[in-house]
Structure 1
């Protein structure tokens, strides 16, 4: 019986050992499948990463901004570096700033935008040609850049050039008929102020404003500095009279306003003084300050005209003249 018991125990132990031996390969097989699964995932992840990198590279090409007049590249940037795929809001703002800098210029670079500098007849009766108005449309440039940002590419500056709106062959006939006139008076004893009025009067006299042209007082008169010949005189700053170079030229711009206001022009920019000035009725003035405040109008009369500005000892008169045949239209 003892021998039988020992034999039975050996059989049972052998059976447990076999089950364990059979289970081991199953566990190993599961482990191998698990290892194989991990090994398979890694290439897929690497492949996916590679595809993403390739896709990112494809989507982040350079953008070249070029001038259609000179056909030269004036700006190059990477959409990736500007954050197109990571911070779109910031990217758009940077593109808007780029467009603004190109159009308006910066402290160190000149912008594309140029106000129209109108033709003028000099003291010898010769026509001095100005230059057209040049506008780089910022919003259109931003739209063009955003449109190609996904893949990069070239974008052309949206530059618009407006030439003067009159036939230069008829410039000598534009003095024939006076269609508007206005006179204001000043104290001749104020030497500096009188000088400034006369110099600014000469600057705008015999300027030709073609049909559709834009007149800018600051553009035609230029900076008011000692270097450009202007003198010190009283001017209004924040409602107070203070000495400044070029004081008095607002009388020229205000006289001009009251002359052209008799025509059907459209005002682009027009500012009032911070207090009454005396030489024109209240609300009929046009204050200017170079670089900040300008007097600008658009000639919407349908015909060209010439500005004639003259001074006497104590007055300034501005006439608007045109060719006789335009008065019958």
Structure 2
């Protein structure tokens, strides 16, 4: 390529990348969802960027990307920019291609990782980045993707990253309609407080008890799961301790405090599976639960707060949970055969 053509090529590249965001919509970039606006919202040119526009309450938007705290949105086929998740009316979301897109606000996770030795979840994909939480050998993590040697996951309401050199095992998530039993069909990790005050230690016990009770279930094709019924009752007799529970926007002590996080982590796993249909779910309230992105929680514990789903797959499924070092990971497996040996490790 001669200098004249090279200069022209570089000018064209600079012109394309400097176009306004709404003009840079790729032909291959299609919206994932449509929804109505719950409140008036500011639109930004990037996450934590400059305000460039606004969109009004009741307006219809298209959602092109779901991030932990933000949404990439557009209107009439043109990308407008980024807005905070809480301004969208979650109850009006329509998935445009359910066969390939998780139910909103689900985010597809592609890998299940086991930690080797000691490592940390980092705030950015750099070795010297801020450490969000420290993990030890055997801890399991669900990863969205692997990029430049770092596994990407969701830590509360931001992305977190883990050095893949610290992986002892890595299983791809099998997202086919006829998965084998040597790989999970969905997985999700949420993170919990590891402080040693009594109420929080009790909460961690409750996380473990609820995961143990989930692991006893095998949900046949056409069968249903009722979290309150199958994982509860949340009583001392069933091993649950008194810990903080969220009630009416406030906090109080109650047996089974913390089981909402197990239900919420399961909910985010179910959102990735078109064959497990959620039939009942209620959030904690407008602000949601702080350990998950906005709108991604599921409250349980009484007749009006529960998580229910039905298995529409032609095979049974089972659920496994692990609780270690502040990481709660829920994994769904196909269950009509021998249990993979890796599960006991």
Question: What is the TM-score normalised by the length of structure 2?
Answer: 0.42
Greater helix percent: which structure?
1
Please identify the structure whose Cα radius of gyration is greater: 1
Greater strand percent: which structure?
2
